Structures are given as C-alpha cells and as structure tokens.
Amino acid sequence: MNNHVIFQKIIKKEIKANILYQDKIVTAFSDIHPKAPVHILIIPNTFIKTANEINKKNKNIIAHMFYVAIQIAKEKKISEDGYKIIINCNKNGGQEINYLHMHLLGGIKLETLY
C-alpha cells in the first residue's frame, strides 16, 4: 500500500482519526506522533503529491489550508503565543508521506529550524 493511501482513508473515514475539521476542500486531524502539545495535520481532500504540484488550477487549496490552520490555532488557543505552519517537500525537505500536508504546531516554544 502506498503511504499516501493512509490520508485518503482518513478523509473517507475508513481509518479512525481525531478529525478536528473537514469540509469539501480539506481535512484536519491530530498527528499520531505529535512533536508538540498541538500538532495538527491539514490535508487537501484532492490528492496532491507535493508542494511542487501546486498550479493555477489548484492554488486556492493552499490558501484554504492556511485559513483552516489559523482557525484551529485560535480554537486551540495557541494563536496569541505563536505557532508554526510547516509544509515539507520531497525527501530532502523532510516529506515522509507522498501527499501534500501542512503541520500546525504549537503549545510550547518551538525552536527555529535555521
């Protein structure tokens, strides 16, 4: 099974996940291996392999992913203290699942990556 199938099964609710938000465009759920007290994954409901595949036709999906991340940050009460939004791209960028996804992390002071 390709690892991106896991996300497709979560979207279809064929695999149990702590889904915090879902609409026609995206699904947001808790990461099963959290790196922070708040660690949410936001994924498009339409398969996009990497950030490199964002184009004129699907670019609105990224904006909606950011919007949902910000709304969840406010709900989780991490927006005032701060949070990180991360999108990894391909192997050297740290992408482990070949399905575009955004990490929302917060709830603690997060170290800078550079």
Q: Which residues are catalytic?
A: 101
Residue in 21, 81, 9 with CA at minimum distance from that of residue 47: 9
